[in-house]
């Protein structure tokens, strides 16, 4: 029984922290935020060289063959510094290919993804607040030479930096992931309040893909991809929430009002303690969920719904209280805590909000 990290995982964590501090600190993040894609090719190259893009890709496809627990370490730490790099999208796309792709797909696509040479993202639902197969409406029709797709996929994560897209569609034989490339589609930025999580719409106008580029996806596959997506987002929530807590806690020690640091007032210190309780708790739930992905997959749905069901609303409150406890300064664009509030709002609906996940916990628990 060991519910902790290995020496290697601790070293990986240190490595990511160092990278975020030295190469991708907040001033650089803010520069990237001012662009539509928030993408930095030089940083991408660096994290590719560090092997982070191939963490969960098997060694036979050029990856490191590690587990989601390892990926969790990286996502937690990059999100601590609000990295805008499309790391989670790449990981999720590779997980989808591993799950739904043929041996050829894996051999043809994964090595370039592990090396960072190709950037790939994935988009599932066509409704902004509905997690269900019914929320996939983009359609692929059979034509000579493959399938034709016309329509728009909205809020595709990292759409502007990606070169390859896996888009969930309804095909003639059911749900599928359509693999399309940048030159086949029109990509337009869809600015959202969190500029560190750029999204875009991907428009397809009679795009024809070869039959082999439509990867069949069962409803179970869709559930799996959604669940690992939620694992990735919740890992990012843990890192970002810890950063927001630490920033607010430090501020409370220094800010003097009525002759005392505000952290001495119970109205402030108790809220900080409650935030600590929440972060510790959804962190523990998330670690367990990340472990189930590779080691106990039948437990994944319940485990991730417990984690994200807890985290979605808790982190949103942390974002609000992080700003609130800072007072006026927290409200300024210049101060960083507001960036975490925006991140919490971004994370809340991604791959299911608290209502979705808690309702699912109830169903899985026999209600």
Partner 1 sequence: MDFEYTAEENSFRNEVRDFLQQNLPPKPERGKGFVAAWLEKVREKGWVGFSWPTEYGGSNGGLIEQAILREEMALAKAPPLGTSFMGLAWVGPGIIQYGTDAQKKKFIPDILDSKVTWCTGYSEPNHGSDLASIQCKAIKEGDHYVVNGQKIWTSGAPWADWIILLVRTDFDVDVKHKGITCLLVPMNAPGLEVKPIENMAGDRHFAEVFFTDVKVPVENRLGEEGQGWMVTVSALANERSSIGEVTQMFDKLDTLKDLVRKTTKQGKPASEDPRVRRTLAMFEAKIAAMKYNGLRYLTKQIKGERLTSETSVNKLHRASLEIEMDDFAVELTGQAGLQLAGGDRAVDGGSWAKASLGWPNVVIGGGTPNIQRNIIAERILGQPKD
Under the rule (CB under 8 A), what is the footprint of partner 1? 1-6, 69, 245, 249, 252-253, 260-261, 263-264, 266, 268-270, 272-274, 276-277, 280-282, 284-285, 287-288, 291, 295, 305-307, 309-310, 354-355, 357-363, 365-367
> Smallest distance, Å, CB 207 to partner 1?
40
> Smallest distance, Å, CB 58 to partner 1?
19
CA distances to 132, 218, 261 from 364, in Å: 16, 20, 46
**Residue closer to partner 1, measured from CB, 343 or 360:** 360
> Smallest distance, Å, CB 69 to partner 1?
5
> Smallest distance, Å, CB 358 to partner 1?
4
Nearest residue to 63 via CA among 40, 91, 89:
91
> Smallest distance, Å, CB 269 to partner 1?
4
- The β-bridge relationship of strands 256-257 and 260-261 is antiparallel
Tell me how far apart the alpha carbons of residues 293 and 288 are, in angstroms, rounded to a whole number: 9
Alpha helices, DSSP H, located in 165-218: none
**Residue closer to partner 1, measured from CB, 200 or 322:** 322
**Residue closer to partner 1, measured from CB, 5 or 155:** 5
**Residue closer to partner 1, measured from CB, 33 or 307:** 307
Residue 134 has a CB neighbour count (10 Å cut-off) of 11
Instruction: Give the chain's end-to-end CA distance (angstroms, integer).
Output: 31
Question: Two tokens at 327?
Answer: 């007072």
Tell me how far apart the alpha carbons of residues 107 and 125 are, in angstroms, rounded to a whole number: 27
**Residue closer to partner 1, measured from CB, 4 or 27:** 4
| DSSP for residue 132 | S
**Residue closer to partner 1, measured from CB, 162 or 311:** 311
> Smallest distance, Å, CB 301 to partner 1?
13
> Smallest distance, Å, CB 348 to partner 1?
15
Quote the Cα angle for 55-59-63, to 5°. 35
**Residue closer to partner 1, measured from CB, 166 or 235:** 235
* C-beta separation of 214 from 146 below 8 A: yes
User: Hunting for tokens 């982190």 — which residue is that?
Assistant: 315
């Amino acid at each position: 029984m060991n519910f902790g990290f290995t020496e290697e995982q601790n070293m990986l964590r240190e490595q990511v922290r160092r990278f975020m501090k030295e190469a991708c600190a907040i001033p650089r993040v803010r520069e990237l935020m001012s662009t539509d894609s928030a993408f930095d090719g030089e940083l991408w190259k660096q994290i590719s060289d560090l092997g982070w893009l191939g963490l969960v890709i098997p060694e036979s496809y050029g990856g490191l063959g590690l587990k989601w627990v390892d990926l969790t370490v990286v996502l937690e730490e990059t999100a601590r510094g609000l990295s805008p790099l499309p790391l989670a999208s790449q990981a999720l796309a590779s997980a989808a290919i591993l799950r739904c792709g043929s041996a050829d797909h894996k051999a043809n696509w994964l090595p370039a993804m592990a090396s960072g040479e190709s950037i790939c993202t994935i988009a599932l639902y066509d409704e902004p607040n509905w997690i269900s197969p019914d929320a996939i409406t983009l359609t692929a029709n059979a034509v000579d030479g493959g399938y034709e797709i016309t329509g728009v996929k909205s809020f595709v994560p990292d759409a502007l930096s990606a070169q390859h897209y896996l888009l969930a569609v309804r095909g003639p034989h059911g749900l599928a992931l359509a693999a399309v490339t940048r030159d086949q589609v029109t990509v337009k930025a869809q600015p959202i309040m969190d500029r560190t999580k750029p999204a875009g719409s991907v428009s397809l106008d009679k795009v024809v893909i070869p039959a082999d580029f439509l990867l069949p996806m069962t409803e179970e596959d869709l559930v799996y991809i959604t669940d690992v997506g939620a694992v990735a987002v919740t890992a990012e929530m843990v890192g970002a929430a810890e950063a927001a807590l630490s920033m607010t806690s430090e501020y409370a020690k220094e800010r003097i009002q009525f002759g005392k640091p505000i952290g001495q007032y119970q109205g402030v210190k108790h809220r900080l303690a409650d935030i600590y309780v929440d972060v510790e708790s959804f962190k523990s739930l998330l670690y367990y969920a990340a472990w189930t992905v590779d080691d106990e997959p039948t437990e994944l749905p319940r485990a991730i719904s417990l984690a994200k069901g807890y985290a979605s609303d808790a982190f949103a409150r942390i974002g609000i209280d992080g700003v609130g406890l800072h007072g006026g300064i927290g409200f300024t664009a210049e101060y960083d805590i507001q960036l975490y509030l925006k991140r919490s709002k971004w994370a809340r609906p991604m791959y299911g909000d608290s209502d979705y996940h808690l309702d699912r916990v109830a169903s899985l628990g026999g209600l």
